[in-house]
Amino acid sequence: MANDASPLLPIRIVPDPVLKARARAVAAADAEQVRTLIPRMFAAMYAAPGIGLAAPQVGVGLRLTVIDLMPDEKPTPIVLINPEIVAASDALATREEGCLSLPGQYADVTRPARVTVRYQDAEGARRELTAEGLLSACVQHEIDHLDGVLFVDRLSALKRNMILRRLAKEQRQKRDQAGGR
């Protein structure tokens, strides 16, 4: 999807401060940047590999996220610009979540089982999506990123701290190994 000349966008890793900042709404003036960013975000997400990526995860503070659950191994890309949850079910669902910004870290997160999201698509058309199951969790996870919230922020302090310490240790080991060559 991305132009072969474009290097892959690097995915920011915790504790990068951009991940804790609230992204601003995409405005008409951002149209060109968003148009070139969308295929590059999909390329970075597929290469990772992941099923969702928010613009702050690649260092861009805009309310933009891309998702592709690849049902039946077929690309089914979804672009959400300025998404907002307009309805959420009272019923909850718990599923294991991970995040490209917290590589190798997973935990069970409880969220509304069904959400309806209002957003603009890549062409700027207003749309609404009602999501259940994995798509619901993914949409909520990515919108959280736009608000500076990570999935670990939805865990107990004990679980969050265990995951963040483990990630920091793994990242240190990775840097040490890279430096030792």
pLDDT in tens, 163-180: 999 999 999 999 999 886
Cα Rg of the chain (Å, integer): 16
Per-residue pLDDT at 3 = 45
96: enclosing H helix or E strand:
strand 92-99
Measured distance CA(118)–CA(25) in Å, rounded:
13
In a 13 Å sphere around the CA of 40, the CA atoms on its Cβ side amount to 19
pLDDT digits (tens, 9 = 90+) for 72-92: 899 999 999 999 999 999 999
Supply the pTM of this predicted model: 0.94
The two structure tokens encoding residue 30 = 């951002």
User: Which parts of the chain have pLDDT scores under 50?
Assistant: 1-3
Per-residue pLDDT at 1 = 46
Concatenated DSSP letters of 50-90 = -SEEEGGGGT--BSEEEE---GGG----EEEEEEEEEEE-S
Measured distance CA(177)–CA(113) in Å, rounded:
41
Per-residue pLDDT at 61 = 98
- What residues pair up with 113 in beta bridges, in sequence order? none
CATH of 17-179, one of 2.40.160.40, 3.40.640.10, 3.90.45.10, 3.50.50.60: 3.90.45.10
Measured distance CA(58)–CA(10) in Å, rounded:
6
Domains in the chain: boundaries: 17-179
- 142 annotated active-site: yes
Measured distance CA(97)–CA(75) in Å, rounded:
21
Per-residue pLDDT at 6 = 79
Point out the catalytic residue in the list 32, 96, 123, 142: 142
